[in-house]
Amino acid sequence: MNTHGRIPPARSVDEITGSRRLRRMRKADWSRRLVRETQLTVDDLIWPIFVIEGENRKEPISAMPGVFRLSPDLAAKEAERAARLGIPAIATFPYVEMGLRDDTGSHVLDPDNVINKATRAIKHAVPEIGIITDVALDPFTSHGHDGILRDGIIVNDETVAVLARAAVAQAEAGADIIAPSDMMDGRIGAIRDALDAAGFQDVAIMSYATKFASAFYGPYREAVGTGGLLKGDKKTYYIDPANTEEALRETEQDIAEGADMVMVKPGLPYLDICRRLKDTFQMPTFAYQVSGEFAMIHAAAQNGWLDYERAMMESLGAFKRAGCDGVLTYFAPEVAELLKG
Query: Do residues 205 and 177 lie in contact, with contact meaning Cβ atoms separated by under 8 Å?
Result: yes
- The residues, ordered by sequence, that sit 6+ positions from 216 with a Cβ below 8 Å of its Cβ are 266, 269, 290, 291, 292, 293
Q: How far is CA 117 from CA 80, 124, 139, 256, in A?
A: 16, 11, 15, 32
The three-class DSSP label of residue 102 is strand
Residue 326 belongs to what H/E stretch?
strand 326-329
**Under the phi-then-psi rule, with left for phi > 0, alpha for psi from -120 to 50, and beta for the rest, what region is 233?**
beta
Q: Is 265 a catalytic site residue?
A: yes
Q: DSSP assignment, residue 43?
A: G
Catalytic residue among 123, 265, 278, 320, which? 265
Q: Is 211 a catalytic site residue?
A: yes
Catalytic residue among 211, 234, 278, 320, which? 211
Q: How far apart are CA 259 and CA 245, in angstroms?
A: 19
Q: Rounded to 5 degrees, what are φ and ψ at 113?
A: -70, 170
Q: Rounded to 5 degrees, what are φ and ψ at 286?
A: -125, 160
Residue type, 8: P
Q: How far apart are CA 108 and CA 94, in angstroms?
A: 10
Q: How far apart are CA 164 and CA 106, in angstroms?
A: 13
CA dihedral 191, 209, 278, 195 (to 10 degrees): 10
Q: How far apart are CA 205 and CA 133, in angstroms?
A: 10
Cis before 94 (ω within 30): no
Diameter over CA atoms, the chain: 90
Q: Rounded to 5 degrees, what are φ and ψ at 157?
A: -70, -35
Catalytic residues: 211, 265
